[in-house]
Amino acid sequence: MPVNLKTLTIDSISPIKGISLGTAKAHIKKPNRKDLLLVTIAEGSKVAGVFTQNAFCAAPVILCKEHLKNASGIRALIINTGCANAGTGEEGILKAKETCQAVSEILSINSEQVLPFSTGVILESLPIDKIKSGLPDTVKNLDSAHWIDAAEAIMTTDIAPKAASRKIKIQDREIFISGISKGSGMIHPNMATMLSFIATDASINQILLDKLLKEVTQQSFNCITVDGDTSTNDSFILIATGQAGHHEISQEDKDYKALKDAIGEVAIELAQAIVRDGEGATKFITIQVESGLDDAECRKVGFAIAHSPLIKTAFFASDPNLGRILAAIGYAGIESLDISKIQLYLGSILVAEKGGRAATYSEDQGKGVMKHPEISMRILLNRGHAKATIWTCDLSYDYVKINADYRS
Amino acid sequence: MPVNLKTLTIDSISPIKGISLGTAKAHIKKPNRKDLLLVTIAEGSKVAGVFTQNAFCAAPVILCKEHLKNASGIRALIINTGCANAGTGEEGILKAKETCQAVSEILSINSEQVLPFSTGVILESLPIDKIKSGLPDTVKNLDSAHWIDAAEAIMTTDIAPKAASRKIKIQDREIFISGISKGSGMIHPNMATMLSFIATDASINQILLDKLLKEVTQQSFNCITVDGDTSTNDSFILIATGQAGHHEISQEDKDYKALKDAIGEVAIELAQAIVRDGEGATKFITIQVESGLDDAECRKVGFAIAHSPLIKTAFFASDPNLGRILAAIGYAGIESLDISKIQLYLGSILVAEKGGRAATYSEDQGKGVMKHPEISMRILLNRGHAKATIWTCDLSYDYVKINADYRS
């Protein structure tokens, strides 16, 4: 079961003026399962996106990038599960285009105003006929309150739907932010097998929206890992409908900061939800790396720990075999690392310093921290002022089971 | 069980003139288990070593490097299991020195002529008294035929002992090469939680021995991975006793090449044995990356595949979910990769080309290859003339079990 993942109630996710969501069961891979999501976006909205850095990126990702560059204004998102339309060559591009064309016809917009997304098995052909057949149902189902339905419709190996919401005030107006995400394996920064869509009714110009999206991504979805695999289909889309009625944010003032902070909170909650629902996860692990020379080296150390199957299995077993953490710090590839300066804390317990076990540390203390489902560790490099936080989960029998059985 | 690992017989491993091996049960971590190995080396032998690149390298590794630099000639190796003497700070260094001192006294040599090695749990103090108590038994047990005993004495989570041997002719003399290795988890290049000791009675000068060791390492132990974790204690030692009676090899002539090839074969067999006995392994996987721009990028692609838990679990399940391999190639971090040029073969079956599934490929073909315990794949990047081969194993329930339970 997911680790301390909040149960969603319809009231907990606010509608966003200008956004409607409709789902359908299109039988893409399995019968009787919501697997198609249409999101419509009011005219005049601003949309920004970041995508996987995988060279083998999926056909819909290629198309999304083109449409974001060219379009007169994005008006719809179409998302299917069950097939990633990745590793599908030229035919994959044609099918992604056909999907956008079908959406544009049913909504009377241009096909370049549609962003397509797919998630599921790689190297299989997109069942375009099923998607087309499912489309009318998504349109009938469109509703501004359907956020949780939408979160359910984009799940693959996810156990639970993921959504988050915040409310802030800008220029005395109430501003709402709501978002959904999916993903639980093939999760790695830059980015994960993850899709996330966040919308706000705030008003902000395109340049600042793009900037805000990149800043938020670096502090949220680029800080998580489940298994170190970067997917072909990762996409994070941020929509600002501008319907809250305040003056457009056009500089990096306090309004920009307030909006960025709130969107950042939603993004972090959605990113953490992916780890909490990480395949087979039984522990949620926060790795704080502090006093490094720069952000990059703190992230390197954090990810070396977060990617180590040895450390992840030890956490699964609640076994304080903490030397494995030192080993991971040691092979993280940090230039001129002085191991005698490093301090390792598990929770509030000092475990290691001066290149060895702390005199005050006892294994019972370690066990006491490790038995909890939420575990944090701090690594102090003691050589600078940078810091980074990485979130991951443990590696359990169920991770193997889920990934060995995924397609069967 | 290890995947197709040869059962060793005493006859299959040749004694090496000038080398004796003695083991003892020193009760370091568990009772009634060979856990201490002494190797004595005849005067006049040449010794070369390569070690872990982990910044948190263990105390014995630090001492080994010093002794190899200073010594008048290495005369003994002392290896214990049950404790890695890593993450032990200043006290760890003192205990490693004390170990060398004890060996030097019992053999009447200098303590700088001893190389110490430890493998086992990190962050625990070396039980020096047990090692000292066990030493006399190792001396009594010294014998040139004790290679397999020695291989057993250095095992930790290994299921089976690992040894290999070759015989060649140089200048009409018979030359013997024998070696042992240990390791099965925390296995990653540069190097692994692995120890390997290879000896030959060939005669070769020090400069060429050092060069030969590095070349052989790059093609053997630096081509394997089980879980991507680089250990604190990895060491690979090559000894040439020079007792075969031929003229010393002092240039890179055909004798050098013959010796390097034969030692390379032993090293590759020992490296592959580590993967075959990889924690929980049920499949032995060979990844050949061809027609890359350079060796480095071929290795990057190979290790991206070899490190992917998603791919490793798919191999465990014999599920030809081969899109995961394309995804790994895509995130390997190769500059300007043209995915439309890449060809992926599983065994002799063409699986993917032109950015997608090959027209001739059927999943039954993929399943046919994947059900075997030995699987090879070829990735053609089609952009240069370099190639590299990486060996790894699958990721099974037992990997989790072994590492969750390792210390209990």
Bridge partners (DSSP) of residue B130 are none
Distance CA B157, CA B162 (A): 13
- Report ipTM for this prediction: 0.71
* B313 known ligand binder: no
Q: How far is A321 from chain B (nearest CA, A)?
A: 8
Question: What sign has the CA pseudo-torsion A310, A312, A318, A322?
Answer: positive
Residue A210 lies in a domain: yes
Q: How many other C-beta atoms are found inside a 10 Å radius of the C-beta of residue A129?
A: 10
Whether chain B has a CB inside 8 Å of the CB on A405: the answer is yes
- Both B249 and B289 in one domain: the answer is no
Between A323-330 and A309-316, two packed helices, what is the crossing angle to 10 degrees?
160
C-beta atoms of B308 and A122 within 8 A: no
Confidence at residue A408, expressed as pLDDT on a 0 to 100 scale: 40
Would the pLDDT of B297 be above 90?
yes
Cis? peptide before A191, omega within 30° of 0: yes
Predicted confidence band of residue B287 (pLDDT cuts 50, 70, 90): very high
How far apart are alpha carbons A107 and A39 in whole angstroms?
Answer: 11
Residues B141, B253, single domain; the answer is yes
Query: B278 or B33: which carries more pLDDT confidence?
Result: B33
In whole numbers, what is the pLDDT of chain B averaged over residues? 90
> With helix as H, strand as E and coil as C, how does A299-329 read?
HHHHHHHHHCHHHHHHHHCCCCCCHHHHHHH
**B51: closest CA of chain A, how far (Å):** 13
Last residue within a domain, chosen from B249, B276, B303: B276
Choose the mutation target among B324, B325, B363, B401 for the interface with A, i.e. most A CBs under 10 Å.
B324
pLDDT for position A189: 37
Residues 84 to 113 of B: which have CB under 8 A from any A CB?
Answer: 84, 86-92
Any chain A CB within 8 A of the CB of B309?
yes
**B177 in contact with A, Cβ within 8 Å:** no
At residue B191, the pLDDT reads: 35
* Chains A–B, number of C-beta pairs less than 8 Å apart: 229
Question: How distant is the alpha carbon of residue A128 from its chain centre?
Answer: 26
- Tell me whether residue B169 is annotated as binding: no
What pLDDT is recorded for position B323? 82
Which residues on chain B are in Cβ contact (under 8 Å) with A406? Answer: 319, 321
pLDDT of residue B227: 56
The token pair at A15 is 């509608």
Question: Is-contact A138 A20, C-beta < 8 A?
Answer: no
CB-closest option in A88, A124, A356 to B89? A356
pLDDT at A228: 53
Same domain, A320 and A251: no
B193 is in an annotated binding site: yes
A319 and chain B in contact, CB less than 8 A: yes
Tell me if A354 and B231 make a contact (CB, 8 A cut-off).
Answer: no
Distance of alpha carbon A318 from alpha carbon A369, whole angstroms: 9
| Residue pLDDT, tens place only, B78-87 | 999 999 998 8
How far lies B295's CA from each of A44, A92, A201, A333, B285, in Å?
Answer: 51, 32, 52, 20, 19
Smallest Cβ–Cβ distance between B357 and the set A57, A87, A399 belongs to A87
pLDDT truncated to tens, each residue of chain A (408 aa)? 788 888 898 889 999 999 999 999 999 998 899 999 999 999 999 999 988 877 788 899 999 999 999 767 999 999 999 999 988 889 999 999 999 999 999 999 999 999 999 998 888 899 999 999 999 999 999 999 999 999 999 998 888 999 999 999 999 999 999 999 998 665 443 333 688 899 999 999 999 999 999 999 988 888 876 655 566 777 889 999 999 999 999 999 999 999 999 999 999 999 899 889 887 889 999 999 999 999 999 999 998 899 888 888 889 888 877 888 988 898 888 988 898 899 999 999 999 999 888 999 998 999 999 899 999 999 999 999 999 999 999 888 877 777 676 544
Q: Residue B406: its chain A contacts at CB < 8 A?
A: 319, 321
Structure confidence at residue A249 (pLDDT): 97
Q: CB-based contact (8 Å) between A316 and chain B?
A: yes
Nearest CA in chain A to B226: A309
- Over residues B27-37, mean pLDDT: 93
Based on the fold, state whether residues A246 and A168 are members of the same structural domain: yes
Task: Mark whether B207 and B343 lie in a shared domain.
Answer: no
CA distance B12 to chain A (A): 34
- Judge if B99 and B242 occupy the same domain: yes
Residue B1 maps to a domain:
no
Residue of A40, A193, A217, A230 marked catalytic:
A193
Residues A229 and A328 in one domain: no
- Number of separate domains in chain B: 2
Tell me the CA end-to-end span of chain B in Å, nearest whole number.
Answer: 21
- CATH number of the domain at A43, please: 3.60.70.12
Residue A300, both tokens? 């390197």
Q: Between chains, do B88 and A229 touch, taking CB under 8 Å as contact? A: no
Of A125, A310, A339, the CB nearest to B55: A339
Cα distance from B3 to chain A (closest Cα, Å)?
19
Task: Please name the residue of chain B whose CA is at the shortest distance from the CA of residue A121.
Answer: B323
Chain B residues with CB under 8 Å of A229 CB are 308-310, 324, 327-328, 331
Query: What is the strand order of the sheet A162-170 is part of?
Result: A46-51, A235-240, A195-200, A173-182, A162-170
Shared domain check, B136 and B94: yes
Q: Convert the pLDDT of each residue in B355-369 to its tens digit.
A: 888 999 998 999 999
Q: Which of B52, B193, B225, B392 is catalytic?
A: B193
Kindly list the strands in the beta sheet with B46-51, ordered across the sheet, starting from the edge strand earlier in the chain.
Answer: B46-51, B235-240, B195-200, B173-182, B162-170
pLDDT in tens, B121-141: 888 899 999 999 999 999 999
How much helix, strand and coil, in percent to the nearest 5, is found in chain A? 35, 25, 40
pLDDT in the model for residue A7: 87
Res B231: pLDDT: 66
- Domain of residue B171: give its range: 10-276
Q: Min CA distance, A292 vs chain B (Å)?
A: 16
Q: Which residues of B fall within a CB distance of 8 Å from A354? A: 89-90
Residues of B in contact with A319 (CB under 8 A): 404, 406-408
| B22 is a domain residue | yes
Rounded mean pLDDT, B62-80: 92
Q: Which of B283, B312, B316, B400 to mutate to test the interface with A (most CBs of A within 10 A)?
A: B400
Provide the shortest C-alpha distance from residue A282 to chain B (in Å).
13
Are B157 and B232 within one domain?
yes
Tell me what pLDDT residue B189 has.
37
Note the maximum CA span of chain A: 71
pLDDT of residue A382: 97
**pLDDT of residue B188 exceeding 60:** no
Residue A164 contacts residue A7 (beta carbons within 8 Å): no
Chain centre distance of CA B154 = 12
3-state secondary structure of A101: helix
- Measured between alpha carbons, how far is B22 from B152 in angstroms, rounded to an integer? 11
Binding positions of A for substrate are: 156, 182, 193, 279, 403, 408
Q: Which of A108-117, B206-215, B395-404 has the lowest mean pLDDT?
A: B395-404
What local confidence, expressed as pLDDT, does residue A193 receive? 62
Instruction: Verify that B230 and B339 share a domain, yes or no.
Output: no
Residue A3 domain-assigned (yes or no): no
Last residue of a domain, one of A257, A276, A295: A276
Residues whose CB falls within 8 Å of the CB of residue A156, separated by 6 or more in sequence, listed in order: A81, A82, A119, A120, A182, A183, A184, A193
Residue B190 pLDDT greater than 50, yes or no: no
A313 catalytic, yes or no? Answer: no
Residues A164 and A296 in one domain: no
Supply the DSSP symbol for B88.
B
> Is the model's pLDDT at B67 over the cut of 60?
yes
pLDDT, position B405? 63
Closest residue in A to B308 (Cα) is A229
- In a domain, residue A2? The reply is no
For residue A263, list its beta bridge partners: none
- Cα first-last separation, chain A: 21
Is residue B297 domain-shared with residue B216, that is, in the same domain? no
pLDDT at A190: 36
Single-letter amino acid, residue B179? G
Residues A156-192: b if buried by 16+ CB within 10 A, e if exposed: bbbebbbbbbbebebeeeebbbbbbbbbbbbbbbbbb
CA of A365 to nearest chain B CA: how many angstroms apart? Answer: 15
Q: A314 near B122, Cβ under 8 Å?
A: no
Chain A, residues 332-351, CB within 8 A of chain B, namely: 334, 337, 339-340
Phi and psi for A326 in degrees, rounded to 5? -60, -45
Q: Measured between CB atoms, does A186 come within 8 Å of chain B?
A: yes
Q: What is the pLDDT of residue A213?
A: 94
Q: Are B310 and B400 in contact (CB under 8 A)?
A: no
CATH value at residue B390: 3.10.20.340
**Domain boundary, last residue among A276, A295, A317:** A276
**CB distance A327–B399 less than 8 Å?**
no
A207 exposure class (CB count in 10 Å sphere: 0-12, 13-18, 19+): exposed
